[in-house]
Chain A
Amino acid sequence: MTVAATDRLTETVLAVRGLEVEIAVGHGASIRPVRGVSFEVRSGQRTGIVGESGSGKSLTAFSLMRLLPPRARIAAGDVYLRGREVSRLPESEMAGLRGGKISLIYQDPMSSLNPLQSVGYQVMEAISAHDRVGRREARDRAIELLRDVGLPQPERRVDDYPHEFSGGMRQRVVIAMAICANPDVLIADEPTTSLDVTTQARIMDMLAQIVAERQMGVILITHDLGLAASFCDDIHVMYAGRFVESGGAASVLQHPTHPYSEALLESICHLDRDVTTPIAAIGGQPPSPHELPSGCPFHPRCARAQDVCTSEAPGPVDVAGHMTECHFPIGGEGP
């Protein structure tokens, strides 16, 4: 399933530099749940952003689409969509890009679909929003799209309502709506979290196929390291608003260089772990953006922390091909 994107001659469809998002919390104060995120996505490349709650991963995704909550704003950084800077575009222009050039799939398919309209109607609506086509043609395209996403017998089910479908099929419909205009970038925010485990694999397989056919860049946002490992070409591990480690998916999982990545991997309960010993849990809890520790945000929970970690935030270093933000990365110099 994983094909190295570096093998292709591909262009960069999305480039993010130093993205920071600020939220006003009243009394003139504000917090920065996203504190400087930079990455690139090429067409056909599958990138994963992995983090726990409070890491800022979902906010990052929404800010790429400029779908920020009321008191939030992009405080710094640039977002380039096919070379064009979009973080400061007027809303009217951004609206044209959403769904068309950059698209988002949410976690819960039921809240993305209007329960009072047939799925065919909703897909057709999505098509017409970006393309001037007649009703007949829109309907035909909708049926084909539903077929592409693996919906069985789409011509018969195109007029059915969302509640007549199972969760997995609804998510396929949502995906159909998201890809109808062939966007350059597709963002999937926890697309399978609300689905059964036996459905998840099929959805991800279908997504992989679609993305390969249409050469889209995909950003998968998830808390599930295993899922990211099996689907993505490369992974960014996010903690307290920044990427603490970035690298090839398999490589990050098997040879993590950041203490958080390593600790996270060790705290996951795997199918073949030893049942007699306690799991190596990370002490403490992820920091809230209201109260970030000084220096390196992971230091209160880190086994390798030294004095410098409490006062100085680490900058990115290259260790074994991964970008890591740590004073004492695993496999680098240090204890």
Chain B
Amino acid sequence: MSNAPEVVSLEGPGLERRESAGWRLLRRPQAALAGLVVGLIVAATIGAPLFAPYAPTATDYDRLFGAPSWAHPFGTDELGRDILTRVLYGGQTSLTVAAAATAIAMLLGVVWGFVAAFREGWIGEILMRVADTVMALPVILLGLVLVAAFGASILNLIIILGLLFAPATARLARSTLLVELRSEYYVAAVSVGASSWRIVARELLPNALPVLLARASLVVAEAIFVEASLSFVGLGVQPPETSWGTLLNQGYSNLYSSYSYPIFPGIVILVAVLALNILGDNLQKVLDPARS
């Protein structure tokens, strides 16, 4: 009798064909809607020069503190500038800062977490305790202190936010990597004789990536929120740059002149953060129980 398997069936016993994570994500109505919203916001802000109805500096002294109307869906500000336009351009700043800060946080966090996972002894412990300490402090408070110390340029803001969000990512990266390090395929890779770097990059990281990506979505949401908060109190983006937070700030100061001024930037922040959170949440659910 032969020992070669005859049936070439590629269906594993009892397993269904798995769709990619992307498709599974889009099947969830929440996630699909959130994805759409995020996509719209990103497209609109990137394409601000295309979509904005007015130039960002165009003033209209006849319509100061205008209420929302067909001509100005979000109303006008103290200089008669269209708020929708300003929101779109401000979004460029907000999203850029958030995205860049997230990139730094993920990169730093992943390296931090991976080193801690690999060197589980003293080094790992110290790294994690540092992370715990930073996480114990309220993010906004810490942000305020750092901005006050180092100045509030956009670059500083990005770096500071990146540093603030790195520890939580580090913890996640570490625990994810620890799980993979306990697996047999890792031992198999070691037995093949691959160097540690190669194993991390080619074997372990791809398996950890989905979870990290899900986290990234949540970090962007938080970054938008913190940037807005810092800018709202004047310690974030500085004029003449605008962001959603500065718009909120100006709107708040002029609250008695125009109720609509702060509301729309506020709503945009709310919607963006909510959508990103839902997206990240659903990504986690889609990737977590279904996998392994």
Bound: A288/B3 CA distance, A: 19
B184 at the interface (CB under 8 A from A): no
Please pick, from A33, A280, A282, A288, the residue contacting B9 in the complex, using a CB distance under 8 A: A288
How many positions in chain B have a CB within 8 Å of any CB in the partner chain? 13
Residues of B within 8 A of A300 (CB): 6-7
B193 at the interface (CB under 8 A from A): no
A199 at the interface (CB under 8 A from B): no
Bound: A284/B9 CA distance, A: 10
- A53 near B13: Cβ-Cβ < 8 Å: yes
- B5 near A26: Cβ-Cβ < 8 Å: no
Bound: A288/B13 CA distance, A: 5
- A54 near B3: Cβ-Cβ < 8 Å: no
B1 at the interface (CB under 8 A from A): yes
A25 at the interface (CB under 8 A from B): yes
A82 at the interface (CB under 8 A from B): no
Residues of B within 8 A of A291 (CB): 7, 9, 11
Residues of B within 8 A of A285 (CB): 5-7
Residues of B within 8 A of A316 (CB): none
- B14 near A282: Cβ-Cβ < 8 Å: no
Residues of B within 8 A of A286 (CB): 13
Please pick, from B3, B9, B16, the residue contacting A283 in the complex, using a CB distance under 8 A: B3
A167 at the interface (CB under 8 A from B): no
- B2 near A283: Cβ-Cβ < 8 Å: yes
Residues of A within 8 A of B14 (CB): 33, 54, 288-290
Bound: A54/B6 CA distance, A: 17
Counting chain A residues whose Cβ lies within 8 A of the other chain, the interface size class is 20 to 34
CB distance from B4 to the nearest CB of A (A): 7
- A26 near B16: Cβ-Cβ < 8 Å: yes
Bound: A289/B2 CA distance, A: 24
Please pick, from B6, B11, B12, B16, the residue contacting A284 in the complex, using a CB distance under 8 A: B6
- A283 near B11: Cβ-Cβ < 8 Å: no
Bound: A26/B15 CA distance, A: 11
Interface positions of B from 5 to 51, Cβ below 8 Å from A: 5-7, 9, 11-14, 16
Bound: A321/B12 CA distance, A: 37
Bound: A278/B11 CA distance, A: 29
Residues of A within 8 A of B6 (CB): 283-285, 300-301
- A287 near B7: Cβ-Cβ < 8 Å: yes
Residues of B within 8 A of A284 (CB): 5-7
The proximity string for B residues 246-279 relative to A, scoring 1 for CB distances below 8 Å and 0 otherwise, is: 0000000000000000000000000000000000
The proximity string for A residues 37-77 relative to B, scoring 1 for CB distances below 8 Å and 0 otherwise, is: 00000000000000001100000000000000000000000
Closest to A263 in B: B1
Bound: A53/B16 CA distance, A: 17
- B1 near A54: Cβ-Cβ < 8 Å: no
Closest to A286 in B: B13
Bound: A192/B158 CA distance, A: 59
A281 at the interface (CB under 8 A from B): yes
Known A25-B16, A26-B16; judge A281-B3 contact (CB<8 A).
Answer: yes
Residues of B within 8 A of A289 (CB): 14
Bound: A53/B15 CA distance, A: 13
Bound: A286/B9 CA distance, A: 11
CB distance from B80 to the nearest CB of A (A): 57
B1, B12, B13, B16: residue with the most chain A Cβ atoms closer than 10 Å: B1
Closest to A303 in B: B1
CB distance from A290 to the nearest CB of B (A): 5
Bound: A207/B14 CA distance, A: 32
Interface positions of A from 269 to 303, Cβ below 8 Å from B: 278, 280-291, 300-301, 303
Residues of A within 8 A of B4 (CB): 283
Closest to A301 in B: B6
Residues of B within 8 A of A280 (CB): 1
Bound: A282/B7 CA distance, A: 12
CB distance from A44 to the nearest CB of B (A): 35
Bound: A280/B13 CA distance, A: 24
Bound: A301/B4 CA distance, A: 12
Closest to B7 in A: A284
Q: 7 other contacts beyond A54-B14, A281-B1, with CB at 8 A cut-off?
A: A283-B3, A283-B6, A284-B5, A284-B6, A286-B13, A290-B14, A301-B6
- A contacts, CB < 8 Å to B: 25-26, 33, 53-54, 278, 280-291, 300-301, 303
